Structure 1
Amino acid sequence: MRAEELWKAYCEKENIDIDTPYSAWGFGDAPDQLADLVLKGIKTATASAYDLYFMEGEEEPLPQPGDYSIILDSKDEAICIIQTTKTTVVPFNEVSEEHAYKEGEGDRSLAYWRAVHEEFFTKEFEETKTEFNGQTRILCEEFQVVYDCTTTYQK
């Protein structure tokens, strides 16, 4: 299902204005695997590089509580709709064990989270010719699934 179709179905069901803003995106290097963790209720958080939201030509709004996102798979098919419930900005080396656990990846430990995300963010920053380090600001975002089109399950 295309993102626009899913959004229309959700808005009709929940009586939400179709013009309510939303974003549509997939999770990093493993969109199918991570979307599956979301659908299983294991992944309830994500992280992104705060400063990259403000790169010239890349300006996009920071996620805020109440925002909607349509999660896409590797084929750009809509999987579900999430709603942001909480955001915090912290240096990379201060991301909490709780946040790492909520991201649901690997063994859910902070050590695993740091190893995987250091590699991911290093590549992301290399593409922008900027430097990533332990003080790089990370936007930690928590969310809940509000519409799952894969099982017609809705919260």
Structure 2
Amino acid sequence: MGHDDDLPTLELAFPGPERDRGVAAILSGEKTALTGLLEIYEHAREALPTAGQRFSVLDSAGRAAVTIELLEVRVVAMKEIDDDFARAEGRGYADAAQWRTAHEEFFRSEGVSDFLGHTPDIGDDTLVVAQRFRVSDAATANAAGPQ
């Protein structure tokens, strides 16, 4: 097994409160799913993640906070996301409608638009990369001494 430093990294949203809440939700076990916009992967020329892959999730300071293992990766239209998946995102969404509103807002945000070079057109058929994961291990190297 490789050392955790060798793992590909995963960054949730942008550094700041949104990322911090996401990392905390993974550590607490509330967050077991995440969604990416397929267009971002294509623009970055990044291969899509696959089930079984492990990632080191970074905090806002760029430090490894937790290691996750992907259990399932699906490319689906936004309209296919159901309430169960929305709740698994661990952001307090009551249902898929709340998930959709938040993700449409994020995918159209300035940060995403700057990265893509345009504001993406988001609708029912927009393809997203829906991922379910489990915590593989917390990044013990950064733990603040004995618990």
AA of the residue aligned to 1:37: A
- Partner-residue secondary structure (3-state), 1:118: helix
Conserved? CA contact 2:4–2:56, under 8 Å: no
Residue 22 (structure 2) pairs with residue 34 (structure 1): yes
Amino acid in structure 1 at the alignment position of 2:113? E
Counterpart AA for 1:102: A
Q: CA deviation at 1:61?
A: 1.4
Q: How far did residue 82 of structure 1 move?
A: 0.3
Q: 1:21 to 1:87 in 2, by over 3 A?
A: farther
Note if contact 1:83-1:143 (Cα within 8 Å) is conserved in structure 2: yes
Q: Which residue identity is paired with 1:144?
A: R
- The 5 Å alignment of 1:1-155 reads 16-18=1-3, 22-29=7-14, 30-55=18-43, 58-123=44-109, 126-127=113-114, 128=116, 129=118, 130-149=120-139
| Cα displacement (A) at 1:18 | 4.5
TM-score (norm 1): 0.78
CA root-mean-square deviation? 2.2
Amino acid corresponding to residue 84 of structure 2 in structure 1: E
Question: Residue 50 of structure 1: CA displacement?
Answer: 1.3
Shift of 1:80: 0.7
1:70 match: secondary structure: strand
Unaligned runs of 5+ in 1: 1-15
Q: Does the aligned pair in 2 maintain the 1:21–1:68 contact within 8 Å?
A: no
AA partner of residue 39 (structure 2)? D
The count of aligned residue pairs is 135
Tell me the distance in 2 between the aligned counterparts of 1:19 and 1:73: 15
Distance 1:19 1:31 in 2: 20
Partner SS, residue 85 of structure 1: strand
1:19: how far off? 9.6
Letter in 1 for 2:33: A
Q: Percentage identity across aligned positions?
A: 27
Secondary structure of 2:8 counterpart:
strand
Once structures 1 and 2 are overlaid, which stretch shifts more, 91-100 or 101-110?
Answer: 101-110
| Consecutive unaligned residues in structure 2, runs of 5 or more | none
